Amino acid sequence: MDIKQQAGKIVNNIKSYYEENRKKVNYISIGVIGITALVVGWNYYYLPKQEAEAAEKFKKIHHFFAKDSFDIVIKGDKKRKITSAVEIADKYSFTAKGNEAALVAGLAYLNKGDFDNALDYLNKVEANDRGLNPAIIAAKATCYSEKGDYKKAAGLFERAAKECDNDLSAGYYVRAAQHYEKAEKLSDALSCYETIAKKYSTAEDGRYLQTAELNIYRLKGLIGDLN
């Protein structure tokens, strides 16, 4: 069988399949067209419109966040037509500004001492920024610390330290170690201080190294690991 005959056979097979499954194929085609239309509409009309609305509202609320007016950030101000960061985060959750609003709302709740709501909004934040992400993780750690969950807080401070992987890590490792001690996880606390001594000895002009060395000796004594 030559190439033309093979091609003709393939075409005939497709025709036969279509005739036998005309309704099924048509439904699938309509479904594909419908999905494509939805995707195009979402990406090129709906999402940009939502992003613009969110940006306009967020611009107003960010001013109050910068001024530490956390009540307005959380509740808004109807008289001045200022939408709260909470509402922006909820209504425009699929937009970049909605994501920023969730961060602002979470930090505002944290500053107001409402740690459960702070965690709710901080957990909604998606941050791929290597500088910002550790700070968000540390903010969550602070919430858990205030709630008395020292083990969870310690783990998050340690995670923030690893995400940083620079001199700022030393401060996070210290906080992690302090919380591990509160959670009676002395070996984990010791490990954090040892990491500072090995990797971040020059951070803050060596201040963290001195802290680490003192605590390494102390914790080894408590654990019974002094040689």
Residue 54: per-residue pLDDT = 83
196 contacts 173 by C-beta, under 8 angstroms: yes
Query: Over its length of 227 residues, how does the chain's per-residue pLDDT go in tens digits?
Result: 554 455 444 445 544 544 555 555 445 444 444 455 444 444 545 566 778 888 888 888 888 899 999 999 999 998 899 999 999 999 988 888 889 999 999 999 999 999 999 999 999 998 777 778 999 999 999 999 999 999 999 999 999 999 998 989 999 999 999 999 999 999 999 999 999 999 998 888 789 999 999 999 999 999 887 66
Residue 24: per-residue pLDDT = 52
**For residue 92, what are the contacts with CB-CB under 8 A and spacing of at least 6?**
50, 51, 53, 54, 98, 101
Burial of 20 (0-12, 13-18, 19+ CB in 10 A): exposed
User: Domain boundaries in the chain?
Assistant: 129-227
In one-letter notation, the amino acid at residue 203 is A
Q: Phi and psi dihedrals of 56, rounded to 5?
A: -65, -40
> CATH for 129-227, among 3.40.190.10, 1.25.40.10, 2.102.10.10, 3.10.20.600?
1.25.40.10
In one-letter notation, the amino acid at residue 209 is L
